[in-house]
Chain A
Amino acid sequence: NAGVTQTPKFRVLKTGQSMTLLCAQDMNHEYMYWYRQDPGMGLRLIHYSVGEGTTAKGEVPDGYNVSRLKKQNFLLGLESAAPSQTSVYFCASSRRDRPHEQYFGPGTRLTVT
Chain B
Amino acid sequence: EDQVTQSPEALRLQEGESSSLNCSYTVSGLRGLFWYRQDPGKGPEFLFTLYSAGEEKEKERLKATLTKKESFLHITAPKPEDSATYLCAVPRESGYSTLTFGKGTMLLVSP
Contact = CB atoms under 8 A, between A and B. Distances in A.
B86 interface: no
B92 interface: yes
Given A106-B43, A107-B42, A100 B32 contact: yes
Task: Kindly state the interface size class of chain B when it binds its partner.
Answer: 20 to 34
Interface string B67-92: 00000000000000000000101011
B45 interface: yes
* Residue among A31, A33, A43, A107 having the largest count of chain B Cβ atoms under 10 Å: A43
Contact of A100 (B45, B87, B89): B89
B25 interface: no
Contacts of A59: 92, 100
Contact of B87 (A43, A50, A106): A43
B97 A43 contact: no
A101 B43 contact: no
A92 interface: yes
A9 to B, nearest CB: 10
Contacts of A99: 96-98
A41 B46 CA distance: 20
Interface residues of A, number: 26
A21 interface: no
A48 interface: yes
Where chain B touches its partner, the secondary structure class is strand
Interface of A: 4, 31, 33, 40-45, 48, 50, 56, 58-59, 90, 92, 94, 99-107
A45 B99 contact: yes
Contacts of B89: 100
Nearest to B102: A42
Nearest to B87: A43
Contacts of B91: 100
A92 B98 CA distance: 11
Contact of B97 (A4, A40, A48, A105): A48
A105 B100 CA distance: 18
Given A92-B43, A105-B43, A107-B43, A100 B101 contact: no
26 contacts: A31-B97, A41-B103, A42-B87, A42-B101, A45-B99, A45-B100, A48-B97, A48-B98, A50-B97, A56-B95, A58-B95, A59-B92, A90-B44, A99-B98, A100-B34, A101-B34, A101-B46, A101-B49, A102-B44, A103-B46, A104-B43, A104-B44, A104-B45, A105-B43, A106-B41, A106-B42
